[in-house]
Amino acid sequence: MSLVFIISAPSGSGKSTLVNGLRTAVEGIDFSISFTTRAPRGSEQDGREYHYITRQEFEARIERGEFLEYADVFGNYYGTARCFLDKAHERGNDLLLDIDVQGATQLQAKLPEAISIFILPPSKKELEARLRRRSTAEKMTNEEIIRRRLATASREIEKYQNYDYILVNDQLERSIDALVAIVVSERVHAQGRVPTPEENKRIELAEQYRLENVRESIQTILATFANSTEAKPARS
């Protein structure tokens, strides 16, 4: 049985780096690359960050029922194609979906058995610093965009309770280890078998990141976003 992992995070939380680390460390996991009608930014490449298509083509795919979820955000479509799930099932692999809170809500309704993971930045201040570094690297420094993404982050973070696991991305290697542990733990559980000693260690680590086990410890982080201006969630 193939598992579906949903991973969400505010723009600038380091999600892409974590996803790449997980995919390197774990075998048998496919990755869904979303479709979008927005233009590539900076060094982005078609088929790597997104599949870039026209609005007309996107709407034709909607009509054909090709998306598991999609949304129109600030005038651009974003969506997850159903074909990635079908191909993962055919190969006997699990599927990792990198999508925002809006898309995750749709998918959780369609795939209630999916395992969901929310990535938190260490604080609003650190998230802002990361957004500014990324904007500078992409030569797209725009104060309005940075402020909009910070406001969007505050709104997205309010939905953390809808996820099974919460991971604070403060140290890269530790965060990747946590993601690997979650995947291993869920696989052992789904297979209904006795775990090996090494798998037991992974299971114990994964349990530390379950929502009910981190709810209290993340309140300080959540408080740093509490007074931000609300904005419509936007995919990056």
pLDDT in tens, 66-122: 999 998 887 899 999 999 999 999 999 999 998 888 889 999 999 999 999 999 999
Phi, psi angle pair for 39, to nearest 5°: -80, 150
CA–CA dist 133, 176 (Å, integer): 21
Strand partners, 210: 165
pLDDT tier at 233, thresholds 50, 70, 90:
very low
The pLDDT assigned to 230 comes to 42
Torsion sign, CA atoms 194, 205, 49, 75: positive
Question: What pLDDT does 139 receive?
Answer: 62
pLDDT of residue 133: 82
3-state SS, residue 233: coil
Domain boundaries, the chain: 4-29+94-225
Q: Residue 236 — pLDDT band, cuts 50, 70, 90?
A: low
Domain 4-29+94-225 class in CATH: alpha beta
The two tokens of residue 93 are 């692999």
Measured CA to CA in angstroms, residue 133 lies from 12, 75, 202, 228 at distances of 9, 26, 33, 21
Place of tokens 């692999």: 93
Interior angle at CA 69, CA 138 and CA 36, nearest 5: 30
pTM of the model: 0.88
Q: How far apart are CA 204 and CA 198, in angstroms?
A: 10
- Tokens matching residue 187: 């696989």
Over 50: is that where the pLDDT of 229 sits? no
CA distance 67 to 135: 30
Span 5-40, pLDDT tens digits: 999 998 888 888 999 999 999 999 999 999 999 999
